[in-house]
A = this chain, B = another copy of it.
Amino acid sequence: MPEHTLLEAVNLALRRAMSEDERVLVLGEDVGIDGGVFRATDGLYQAFGAQRVFDTPLAETVIAGAAIGLATQGFRPVAEIQFMGFIYSTIDQMVNHASRLRNRTRGRLTCPMVLRAPFGGGIRAPEHHSESAEAMFAHIPGLRVVIPSSPTRAYGLLLAAIADPDPVVFLEPKRIYRAFKEDIDTSSAPLPLDRCFVTRPGRDVTVVTWGAMHVEALDAAAIVEDEDIDVEVIDVATLKPLDEATILESVTRTGRLVIAHEAPLTAGFGAEIAARIAEKGLFDLKAPIRRVAGWDTVMPLPKLERLYMPTAAQIVNAIRSVMAYQ
């Protein structure tokens, strides 16, 4: 079987969804002949033609809004926002319309659309090209928010997102678009959109994370292994709806929780996970819940960007600090 990057996995999932279901359309800026600025839609225009893949004018509000219109008519649009920094213009459409059409009409009109965007920092990109605004979307009732952290999960989750009868925001950690490869079985089933993935079982401390930070979490786990600390790593994958049970079960066993995300600390999605455990797993906790997150600052331009990005080193520190409690 061929080996594929996360970026290729996205492309393969789009390809398969488009082949298997002619209702699937792709639209966005430069998604056509250019194949997207990261090449996520590479070759789709050539393979499926101008009736399935559209380069839109430069206008994010109507990209999201037209996708909503298409979705109500039985299409399954997959709209790309070029970088998450430009997704804010879609929030009004997503919160006021996409997430509500079904509810507003008691199920008469529905909105099976996917809003894809590369997100996160660490690639020395210009301003606005490194955003992690997943928490804003995770607060919106009626939406699903999905973030893959590996090629296989990107493949299976994107298939599921496209097949889902409701709107899904699908955020791709661009820092690991090409970081590593995995085998992808292009006949595999979609992955569930309501499950966290335990990607490394462990005994002593639970590290919960998503996106590009997942790699850092695994690295951190490997580092502290030498110190006889056995880390369980959970990739949240679907932030909304949150699979609280898997996280709670893990923390109940380990008694220690570290949450790692790239977005700024305050009101980041890590807070939600901490709050759930502080309600339902409080008496199993041996140590304070630690969050490793971006600072509450604007993402610095590339020269100082590395001082913003949380890494394995910070996660290691947090793991050690919670291990100090016995």
How many copies of this chain are found per oligomer?
A: 2
- Cα distance A310–B299 in the bound complex, in angstroms: 36
- Cα distance A95–B135 in the bound complex, in angstroms: 14
Offer 29 A-B interface pairs, CB within 8 angstroms, sorted by A: A85-B96, A88-B95, A89-B92, A96-B128, A104-B298, A135-B136, A136-B139, A139-B263, A139-B264, A139-B266, A139-B268, A141-B295, A141-B297, A141-B298, A142-B297, A240-B266, A266-B272, A267-B269, A267-B272, A270-B275, A271-B271, A271-B274, A274-B275, A274-B279, A278-B278, A279-B288, A279-B290, A279-B291, A282-B285
Q: Which residue of B lies closest to A239 (CB)?
A: B267
For the complex formed, measure the closest distance between the CB of A272 and the CB atoms of chain B, giving whole angstroms: 4
Q: Is the CB of B271 within 8 A of A99?
A: no
8 Å CB interface, A244-297 against B: 263-264, 266-272, 274-275, 277-280, 282-283, 285, 287-291, 295-297
Q: Which residue of B lies closest to A139 (CB)?
A: B267
8 Å CB interface, A83-100 against B: 85-86, 88-89, 91-92, 95-96, 99-100
Q: Is the CB of A298 within 8 A of B99?
A: yes
Contact with B along A66-108 (1 / 0, CB 8 A): 0000000000000000000110110110011001100110000
